[in-house]
Structure 1
Amino acid sequence: MRQLSTLSGGLLLALGLSGCGTDCGLEPEPCESRQLTISSLEAEYGCTNTRYLNTEPTGAALIVRTQAEFDQRVSGACHPQIDFTKYDLVVGQQQQLGGAASSSVTYDYQLACPANERVLRVVLKMGVTNDLGSRSYHALVPKLAPTETVRVIVEVTQ
């Protein structure tokens, strides 16, 4: 009986060691463009007015990955403790020539192929007021890998 156990163990070990050293002829999974889910500071943390979040004037959206970075780089009326194990925050500001105070924003977050990149499309619809200024936008995206990025496209419409 002991010889049978030794023989069985030896066969299993030999099979394990002789496995494929490469991908064994398997094709990589094809990239499929698809809609990705996002959330917001309003939905997750009860914030009421995020149109005036302030970020460093970098001219580009930021990906905030930690609470310390959020505390340092973003200010405004709502400043929650974000669950950065679950989300990363994509945040930015857009200058508007009019209607900033009454503007609205919509988001579309997708995995775009064949580049296999995440794209956040932000559509700012100008409001009816005559004010000049900037309008903040943000999205809580599912946690990204440390080197993963999001391409942000901002469109301002009438």
Structure 2
Amino acid sequence: MKIRLIAISLSFLILACSEGENCTNRELNITSLENEYGCTNTKNSDIEISEGYKIIRNQTEFEALNFGNCDPEIDFSKYDLIIGKYQLTTGNNSIDYDLVENCQTKNLILKIAFNQNETAEAPNVTYHALIPKLEIGQSISIEYAVQ
């Protein structure tokens, strides 16, 4: 009887604690240089970065980008700046961002959607997001969508 009771209890414990249960990815708030610091037309900024992205963690790194008319004092105790360039095949109307934290790994995924138009220009646009300060060992990946 004791063995049966232990086996049943163990079964309930295993079922109750199955990995991944109630694990839901979490959407995090992000902001931008436009919203926080009043910068304008940043997607057309000619920053000194090749296609791809960088994680900017302090003011010195930000100033080295030569961001043009946008030169705010960013609160890097609160934010990291993800910034990069992306070559498009048609004109761009806008860029949308979503930041998701993976519930199992705690790593971040920045989803960037380029909303296109029919113009023949093929811009190399600058994108950026001010994200919550990354924790030590936490990584971020970027997913692009052209719509």
Q: TM-score, normalised by structure 1?
A: 0.72
Distance in 2 of aligned mates of 1:74 and 1:154: 25
- Equivalenced residues, count: 127
Which ranges in structure 1 are unaligned for 5 or more consecutive residues?
A: 1-26
The answer on 1:46 being equivalent to 2:38 is: yes
Decide whether aligned partners of structure 1 residues 112 and 74 sit closer, same or farther in structure 2, where only a CA change above 3 A counts: farther
Alpha-carbon distance change, 76 to 149 in structure 1, aligned in 2, over 3 angstroms: farther
**CA pair 153-76 structure 1, distance change in 2 beyond 3 A:** farther
Decide which of 53, 56, 62 is 2:49's aligned counterpart.
56
List alignment gaps of at least 5 residues for structure 2: 1-16
TM-score, structure 2 length as denominator? 0.77
Structure 1 residues 1-158: aligned runs within 5 Å: 32-53=24-45, 54-57=47-50, 59-100=51-92, 103-157=93-147
- AA of the residue aligned to 1:56: I
The RMSD of aligned alpha carbons is: 2.1
Judge conservation of contact 1:55–1:93 (CA < 8 Å) in 2. no
Query: What's the CA shift string for 1:20-42, capped at 9, x where partnerless?
Result: xxxxxxx9xx7541110101101
**What is the CA–CA distance in structure 2 between the aligned matches of 1:119 and 1:155, rounded to whole Å?**
13
Runs of 4+ in 1 over 6 A off after TM superposition: none
Aligned partners of 2:66, 2:133: CA distance in 1, in Å? 18
Return the index of the structure with the highest Cα Rg: 1
* Matched-pair identity in %: 37
Secondary structure (helix, strand or coil) at the match of 1:35 reads: strand
User: 1:70 offset after TM fit, Å?
Assistant: 0.6
